[in-house]
Amino acid sequence: MPGGIHPPLEVIASWPAPNYHNPARRPRATTYLACVMSPIATFFIFARLWVRFYMQRNAGWDDWLMVAATPFIIALFVLIPYTADYPEPAMHIWDVDLTIFTRQRKLLLVIEEVFVVGTGLVKVSILLFFRRLGSRGVSKTFRIATWVAIITTALSTVAFAIAPLVGCRPLSAYWDQVDVIKIATGYQYHCFDEAADITVAGIISTIQDVVATIFPNLIYWKAQIPIRQKVALFSIFAIGYVVAIFGALRTYSLAYLFYGTYDVSWQLWEIYNWATLELHFGILCANAPALKVFVKRYLNITEIVRSKESSKSRSQQKSANSNNTNSSRPTVPSSKGTSSKGPGSKIAFWRNSFAHHGYVSQPTQISVDEHGGIRVNTDVDVT
């Protein structure tokens, strides 16, 4: 069955009468997903930037690209659920008010442009991060492959961002081609094959997700670390496979919209949901490696408990010494000794060493030195 945004007259004639009062509607799933996942993804982004720019003070090009991608990402957090669920949730095409078709097409063009540019910047950021991890200790072939992936991702991002802007003449034909009044009055326009462009873009994007997920496995596979540490490191980047799955499902839904159904408004609901999941999990994957440093610094429950226990022990010792009349001078641990051996010294040590570590925190067996190479520590653990 063919499909797309231009149903023939015989298909339109077969549709039921419109129900503008109580139509069948999809649930507002896109809004619910965004409300839950957008705050989490935003936290991951700013935690990573805080670690790299403030704590470690050795941000690289991958971090600057994430900064550039952040406005696009935040815009998508708002645009996708708004377009999907407002003013009304998704409904069948025959129940949709004809006057909102052009409005939806304008929003779709904005979403497509922002999505392509934003996700493209995130992918290049991830690949640049892997290039830093693999700049030392890996083969020349791997480094070349990484650069090839970076260049092809950047070029495809530019190409698929430009295509919708130059594909229709005039540009307004992108949304006016669904204006039934203009079409009825003989509106003349020329547009590119939108179905082929979007489908090919989705396929290439999914392949890029898979490639970006394979690269860290090649880095860590030959590392001389215990299996437990390898599993922990692989699990961080395994989110990329989830992103690729969501990207494949989004691509399939897009292809079905253009080649399998004319009920466009109903089918768009699936596309919005897959795009939302792909976007958010991609953000989690891109920023997860730096999160452990942030958690160790600000959410280290073990250090907090140890600090409280140490403070309580010192207080009890002071009380005991003050009651000891046989001692001419109470034995009170000096602040200098405490800071050199207690938790305070550990925190101070971490503060002084942030600038010398990469994306993986000190307790992780693999880290990145100041030159971007791999450092393997000997007596650490990844949990």
Give tens-digit pLDDT for 259-276.
999 999 999 999 999 999
Containing structural domain, residue 83 = 25-294
Please report whether residue 369 resides in a domain: no
Query: Mean pLDDT, the chain, as a whole number?
Result: 81
Work out the average pLDDT over 7-32. Answer: 92
CATH number for position 146 = 1.20.1070
Q: At 189, is the secondary structure helix, strand, or coil?
A: coil
- Number of domains the chain contains: 1
Rounded percentage of the chain residues whose pLDDT exceeds 70: 75
Work out the average pLDDT over 279-303. Answer: 81
Give me the helix-helix angle, 194-221 and 140-166, nearest 10°.
160
pLDDT 10s digits, 197-209: 999 999 999 999 9
Model pLDDT, residue 115: 97
How many other CB atoms are there within 10 angstroms of residue 209's CB atom?
Answer: 26
Please report whether residue 333 resides in a domain: no
Model pLDDT, residue 135: 59
Contact 156, 204 (CB under 8 A): yes
CA distance 22 to 226: 61
Instruction: Name which of 80-84, 181-185, 354-358 the model is least confident about.
Output: 354-358
Rounded percentage of the chain residues whose pLDDT exceeds 90: 51
Please report whether residue 351 resides in a domain: no
- Residue 121 in this model has a pLDDT that exceeds 60: yes
360 DSSP 8-state letter = S
Work out the average pLDDT over 77-84. Answer: 95
How many other CB atoms are there within 10 angstroms of residue 249's CB atom?
Answer: 19
Q: In whole angstroms, what separates CA 178 from the centre of its chain?
A: 33
Please report whether residue 198 resides in a domain: yes
Please report whether residue 347 resides in a domain: no
